[in-house]
Structure 1
Amino acid sequence: MGGLTEEGALSGETAAEIAVSVEGAISAGRLAPGERLPTVRELAARLEVSPATVNAAYRALRNRGLVAGSGRAGTRVVESGASASRRLAAPVGPGVRNLADGNPDPELLPPLRPACARLTGKHWLYGEGGRLPALLDWFRHNFERDGLVADHLAVIGGAMDGAERALQAHLRPGDAIVVEDPGYGGVLDLVPALGLRPIAVPVDADGMRPDLLGRALEQRPDACILTPRAHNPTGAAFTERRAAELLEVLRGHDDLLVLEDDHAGAISGADPVTVVGRGDLRRWAVIRSLTKTLGPDIRIGGLSGDQLTVDRVIRRQQVGAGWVSHVLQELAATILTDPATPPLLAAARETYRERRQALADALQRHGIRVSGRSGFNAWIPTPAEGAVAQALLARGWAVRAGESFRTHSPPGLRVTFASLLPDEAEDFARALHDILHGDGRSYTA
């Protein structure tokens, strides 16, 4: 084992203490991604504990996604063991156009000041309830208008909060979950943080592929998470046919929890197609977040699902944060019920559609294809994604290299075009074309 000096050696007498020691070494950089840990027998002899104790420590670390067994290569620190902050776009300097941050266009968000002025100013106290009736009614209408079941609802702190609570309601460390590939980096971070084992399934322009989902289900996973529209990073969206095919594959797996992360809602630019939202499966939940429509700091969402799942989410919420801030709930309800809001959201949806089309057309003119049809992110397959991203940065364009979003899928770039104007789209497409074909370099995988 290469990375530990005597001063930084692993220690502990119990499995929990040894696991904490290894985690500390990873966090401090004394154990690097890919580095091999001592064998069970080697570390047991060094610490004067039983091999079973070290085995238990390594198992706990595997369940938490920090290490992985590599057969005869031993147990190694996983490449994804870095902090979740690596999923965030790095700050960009002056003069650089930011197409990396994943944010909506602030100019297309409903204004906050008028809504804030209309708040009641009431101080909510302990024991006064967790869900604001006006917001709960809005979510119920929102789900039912689109043909989704809304018999049981929870108010959550955004899409990732809802996903985490729903998964914790049914899964335990070591359980397996089907995830999209490429998929949202936040989900790919959440899975190992909960000690879950990911099973990556490719997506195409219509979402997760049913044939490959069927193969993944042969591994008996415990959950599956799907994005019905505005898929991040690809912009994929379900068709009715794809949703029906996925539902057919999922039928009969009664112990499987299936989540839909409908995080962009009204501004996604795609119809509200669902796989699980009509209650056809035993364990399910649909999450609708407001962070893309009202702004990332309004961390509010609604979760509909089967009664057991929703009840468990609410109970877990009650023993943790207790509730989502009533001030935020009231602010969201005030904006959503304002007659001026639907036209604003419709205008945002149309603007994102126009910008998506402008980017796709500009790229196509330069021989570069993208396939997404919803949301405000595009995925551009690109060999040597890191080198291409750096070359774009040198020309004044910040994008995200695809490594943060993919498991086994080929490399690519994620481009957030939320605020990209049509003339800028042409400039970006030309810069990318020149990097790929015109500067004399070879960007190969």
Structure 2
Amino acid sequence: MSDPIDEAALSGGTAAEIALSVERAISAGRLAAGARLPTVRGLAARLAVSPATVNAAYRTLRNRGLVAAAGRAGTRVLERTAPANRALGAPVGPGVRDLADGNPDPALLPPLRPALAKLSGRQWLYGEAGALPALLDWFRLDFERDGLAAEHLAVAGGAMDAIERVLQAHLWPGDAVIVEDPAFSGVLDLVAALGLRPIAVPVDDDGLRADLLQRALEQRPAACVLTPRAQNPTGAALSPERAAELRKVFQRHENVLLIEDDHAAAIAGTEPETVAGKGEFRHWAVIRSVTKYLGPDLRLSVVSGDQFTVDRVLRRQQVGAGWASRLLQELAVTILLDPATPKLLTTACETYRERRRVLADALGRRGITLSGRSGFNGWIPTPAEGAVAQALLARGWAVRTGEAFRTNVPPGLRVTFANLSPAEAEDFAATLHSISQGDGRGYPA
């Protein structure tokens, strides 16, 4: 049974006013996740409005992804309702090693100063701004070198900006979207913010599980967001066999929009695999970003997709942001075309791959599993993620609990090892092993 709700928080005389009062109560914490809203007739009687008005308010809340109807269990507040209330990252105090931030190693990013000195200094004006041809040319070659279609391209902000634009090009509030489980927390928050309904499908080290995908597709989703490699938080990467399996399943559901978030392509550490990127599907998009290997502040990504999707993204961009900063585009392409950059990216890729191996070996010798084989994040299953994370913090290690990433899968920890030295990997593994042996079941003593 859920806790009693603060019915005084619900007010209004119209559907819009009632929906707004519920949303404000959720944001203020007066309605907790799982709380059951009053029955339609009960709230209508208390507010002296018609049941149809309350029904309309509840429908609006469902379309915004704030509540869900649960049959006889009534209408309940969903778990992910206020992403703005969650800090992007808790500050780590002195003496604590940060494995929680999800950042690349700054030492492996190309230097900005030489590239900044080469910029033209030109001011771009209204009417002449847009995609920089040199940047589009670089990405077109990048896509085509990996066997992906690249006839229609658009430049957006980072990968999340591109995912949002592609989803909005096709979907409406209330539509269902297949997401990974666990998934990048930003994707889950974006789906909730757009009023979309997530359908979680588990991932393993080879990516989205094809054997569970068909059941999800029976719920008639409008889209699917998947990560072909460097999956965050698990480090999963599509194998050729898994990509072929997924492609075969999706071919029976041609109306599903496929979005591939290939955000770490250049430094992912595995060969490129794709489900949708060869252009065989009706609506699709593959997104590549520069933020993981040029720097998080270079908020740029390029979308390759079918003509209809890319055209819609561009038209929507024109009436909003207008264009992605030409200054950032010029800076990015200057770095990408620098003769020294390919070697820097290769070094970064090999370094992340080695740091994953070292940490996985250190944990494995102690009977602890680190998931994945690509990128610089990994997932460590644990039955008590919160307690283990707190115990690690007390011993000088900050990690992310899995709560923000998972929907139905068991608990775990997200660890970022981008700049973890071999000695630190051994120390972290020993500390985690000591904590996990607290009561013999993975719970700290």
Deviation for aligned residue 1:303:
0.2
Deviation for aligned residue 1:166:
0.4
418-427 or 123-132: bigger deviation:
123-132
2:304 counterpart residue number: 304
1:341 counterpart residue number: 341
Alpha-carbon distance in 1 for matches of 2:356, 2:73: 46
Deviation for aligned residue 1:442:
5.9
Q: Is the 8 A contact 1:256 1:283 kept in 2?
A: yes
State the secondary structure of the residue aligned to 1:285.
strand
Q: Is the 8 A contact 2:179 2:199 kept in 1?
A: yes
1:353 counterpart residue number: 353
Aligned Cα root-mean-square deviation (Å): 1.5
Alpha-carbon distance in 1 for matches of 2:419, 2:379: 16
1:177 counterpart residue number: 177
Is residue 237 of structure 1 aligned with residue 237 of structure 2?
Answer: yes
- Identity, in percent, stands at 74
Deviation for aligned residue 1:90:
1.3
Deviation for aligned residue 1:10:
2.0
Is residue 93 of structure 1 aligned with residue 93 of structure 2?
Answer: yes
Is residue 437 of structure 1 aligned with residue 437 of structure 2?
Answer: yes
Deviations 1:213-249 (A, max 9, x none): 1111111111011100000011110111111111000
Matches within 5 A, 1:399-438: 399-438=399-438
Q: Is the 8 A contact 1:87 1:185 kept in 2?
A: no
Which AA in structure 1 matches 2:44? Answer: A
36-45 or 273-282: bigger deviation:
36-45
Taking structure 1 as reference, are residues 85 and 31 closer, same or farther at Cα in structure 2, changes over 3 Å only? closer
1:22 counterpart residue number: 22
Per the normalisation by structure 1, the TM-score is: 0.97
State the secondary structure of the residue aligned to 1:34.
coil
1:368 counterpart residue number: 368
1:121 counterpart residue number: 121
Alpha-carbon distance in 2 for matches of 1:323, 1:421: 40
Deviations 1:256-308 (A, max 9, x none): 10000000011010111111110111110000011101111100001000000
State the secondary structure of the residue aligned to 1:65.
coil
Deviation for aligned residue 1:87:
6.6
State the secondary structure of the residue aligned to 1:72.
helix
Q: Is the 8 A contact 2:283 2:309 kept in 1?
A: yes
Deviations 1:108-163 (A, max 9, x none): 10011111111111111111031111111111111111111000000010111111
Which AA in structure 1 matches 2:125? Answer: L
Residue ranges of structure 2 left out of the alignment (5+ in a row): none
Q: Is the 8 A contact 2:178 2:199 kept in 1?
A: yes
Taking structure 1 as reference, are residues 434 and 292 closer, same or farther at Cα in structure 2, changes over 3 Å only? same
Taking structure 1 as reference, are residues 87 and 406 closer, same or farther at Cα in structure 2, changes over 3 Å only? farther
Is residue 4 of structure 1 aligned with residue 6 of structure 2?
Answer: yes
Which AA in structure 2 matches 1:209? Answer: R
Q: Is the 8 A contact 1:63 1:192 kept in 2?
A: no
Which AA in structure 2 matches 1:248? Answer: K
Residue ranges of structure 1 left out of the alignment (5+ in a row): none
Which AA in structure 2 matches 1:418? Answer: A
Which AA in structure 2 matches 1:4? Answer: D
Is residue 46 of structure 1 aligned with residue 78 of structure 2?
Answer: no
Taking structure 1 as reference, are residues 111 and 92 closer, same or farther at Cα in structure 2, changes over 3 Å only? same
Which AA in structure 1 matches 2:334? Answer: T
